[in-house]
Structures are given as C-alpha cells and as structure tokens.
Amino acid sequence: MTGLAEIAAPAWPARKPRLLLVDDQPLHLQVLYRTLSAEHQLFMATSGEQALKVAREQRPDLILLDVVMPDADGFAVLRQLRAQRDTADIPVIFVTAHSGEDIETQCLEAGAVDFIPKPVNPSVVRARVRTHLTLKFQSDLLRALAFIDGLTGVANRRQFDERLSIEWARAQRHGSALSLILVDVDHFKSYNDHYGHQAGDDALRRVAACLREHVRRGTDLVARYGGEEFACLLPDTTAEDARALAQQLLEAVRLLAIPHHHGGIGGVLTASFGVATRAGASRPGWQPAALLGLADAQLYEAKRLGRARVCA
C-alpha cells in the first residue's frame, strides 16, 4: 500500500525543513527545540518583534507561534506576517497554554493552520509539524508547476504574462528600458512532418535550453509563448543590447546543428527573432500588449525577409 508520506515525498525538498519557533519563555523553546531539532533546521525568537524579523530574513517553511507574549501577541504577529508579501504564505501553528473551544476557534479564524495546546506532547508536535510541512511543500510544488511549461521546463505563458505586467510597471516607475525578444522556430511544421512529433518535441526542448543558457541575467525570463514560439523578457536592457543578444541567440540555435533537410535553412533548424524595446518615459495608452505587438511585427518582418534572422 502507498502511504501518504510516499505520495507526498516528491514535494519534499532535499534539505531539512526550516522552522521558526517563537515563545517568550526560554524553557518552552527548549522543549520544542529538543522535540524538533533532529529533523529540522530551527530558528528561534523570544518576542513578536524578533519573530517578524527572523521570518523576513530566513523565510521558514512553517512557524510555531506562542499566543501570549508581552510585546506583540501571536495574533498581532500573524496579522503582520500576512500583511507582508515575503511572509504572507508561511503557515503558522499557534501554541498556547490557553485551552478551550473559544481560543482554538479564535486561532483558526485568525488564519493559523493549526493549534497545539501547552504543555506540548512531543510526538503530537512532530506529527502535526510533518502534516503541515507536507501540505506546504505540496502547495509550493503545485504553484511552481502552474508557472512552468511541461515540455521544455521554461516559464509558461501565464508566468510570462504576469512578469510582463510587473516589469512593465517597474520600467514605467523608474523610466528604465524593457526589451522583449520573440523567437519563432522556422519551418517547424515540415520538421514535424518529416522527423516526427517526438523529434519535434526534442528539438523544442533543445531550443529552450539553448535560449536559457544564453539569456542569463537573474532578472531575465525565458518563456514558451506558444507552440514553437518563445519569448525572452529583458528588464533594464537597451534596444542595442537586446538586438545583440538576439543575434547571439540566432547563432546559438544554428550551432545546435539540429538537422533539418526538408525545408530547413542550410540543412539545420533555425529560428527567426523579433525585438522590441520600451525606453524612457511612458506614452498615453502605452500598454504591455504594445511591446508584444511591436516584437511580433518585427518577427513577421524577419519571416518575410527569408527567416533565420533578427529584425529590430
């Protein structure tokens, strides 16, 4: 029989799960520490203030939070965790000596995922921590998968659209440049027709890996935009630099030397590139879709001029 732990296993990271333990009484922290230190990487805080600081800096996977503390109580800490983007999704288990339905309901309604009464029973703590970590890692995995293209492993269209509007707004705020390269594999229908759909899939994977290898800045994004089309979003990149990068990509795809003897250009698989840049101040009605439209028009021009080239 397959147990829950085995089903959950793929979502667990190779590292030790990271827990933040918060309690104003060192003795209580010690008990939790002894209970959890073998299987977890632990961070500790003895006040609400400190808990918020450590949560922001260390991004734990789960927080065990005392309710009654002299400075900010657990409820206040939870509210502040939820209000900050970096910490909003970290699950919190309340640990408190107060017992009774009221306090338990109050904790869950405040947004805690669970409630553990003091004095704590070590095996109950371990079991509940394990359950909530499993849920956390599963939801992390699902969220990651929802933004990744299944065939090539690069970002999917959803992630691209989201990042485009974020980067667009950022470029608008700072007056910085934002460039986009659209990539479309040439004569790919005939590639599929002659080499088969599997080989077509392999070729797309290799092209995606090649783009990712050459589009390297931490803030850059390579995405699969559609069937055999990719998009490279390049924040803080001028038109000139984007065009140069597109030229490199053109060569790099050619150098993959994927044979295409049925309509390919020079006997290998190639791609066409359309480049557009949003530079400087905004214009009225200037929307993220405009950048896509411009890059698409350049791509169309590259196709019209014979493919395997960059238009900018």
Locate the DSSP E strands across the chain.
Answer: 18-22, 41-45, 62-66, 92-96, 114-117, 178-185, 221-226, 229-235, 271-278, 310-311
* Binding site partner of 197, from Mg ion, ligand GH3, none, Cβ cut-off 5-8 A by kind: ligand GH3
Q: What is the distance between the alpha carbons of residues 72 and 260, in angstroms, rounded to a whole number? A: 67
296 binds Mg ion (CB under 5 A): no
Q: Give, as ranges, the residues between 189 and 228 that touch Mg ion (CB under 5 A).
A: 228
188 binds ligand GH3 (CB under 6 A): yes
188 binds Mg ion (CB under 5 A): yes
Least Cα distance to 120 among 94, 147, 102 occurs for 94
Q: Judged by CB, which is closer to Mg ion: 115, or 188?
A: 188
Q: Is there a catalytic annotation at residue 104? A: no
Q: Which residue has the tokens 């790099």?
A: 252
66 binds Mg ion (CB under 5 A): yes
Least Cα distance to 182 among 117, 229, 244 occurs for 229
151 binds ligand GH3 (CB under 6 A): yes
Q: Judged by CB, which is closer to ligand GH3: 155, or 185?
A: 185
Least Cα distance to 92 among 57, 122, 135 occurs for 135
Q: What is the distance between the alpha carbons of residues 288 and 270, in angstroms, rounded to a whole number? A: 28
What element of type H or E holds 28?
helix 26-36
Report DSSP state, residue 13: -
Q: Judged by CB, which is closer to ligand GH3: 19, or 299?
A: 299
Q: How open is the CA angle 243-248-254, to the nearest 5 degrees?
A: 130
The nearest distance, CB 242 to ligand GH3, in angstroms, is 21
Q: What is the distance between the alpha carbons of residues 87 and 235, in angstroms, rounded to a whole number? A: 25
* Binding site partner of 24, from Mg ion, ligand GH3, none, Cβ cut-off 5-8 A by kind: Mg ion
Q: Which stretch binds ligand GH3 (CB under 6 A): 12-20, 153-161, 193-201, 287-295?
A: 193-201
Q: Which stretch binds ligand GH3 (CB under 6 A): 94-102, 107-115, 200-208, 239-247?
A: 200-208
The nearest distance, CB 151 to ligand GH3, in angstroms, is 6
149 binds ligand GH3 (CB under 6 A): no
The nearest distance, CB 82 to Mg ion, in angstroms, is 21
Q: Which stretch binds ligand GH3 (CB under 6 A): 53-61, 86-94, 188-196, 235-243?
A: 188-196
Q: How open is the CA angle 26-27-29, to the nearest 5 degrees?
A: 65
Q: What is the distance between the alpha carbons of residues 252 and 207, in angstroms, rounded to a whole number? A: 9
The nearest distance, CB 278 to Mg ion, in angstroms, is 23
Choosing from 39, 162, 213, 228, the catalytic residue is 228
The nearest distance, CB 272 to ligand GH3, in angstroms, is 7
Q: What is the distance between the alpha carbons of residues 293 and 261, in angstroms, rounded to a whole number? A: 32
Q: Judged by CB, which is closer to Mg ion: 68, or 279?
A: 68
- The residue length of the chain stands at 312
The nearest distance, CB 267 to ligand GH3, in angstroms, is 15
Write out the residues near ligand GH3 by the rule CB under 6 A. 151, 184-189, 192, 197, 200-201, 204, 227-228, 303, 307
Q: Which are the catalytic amino acids?
A: 228
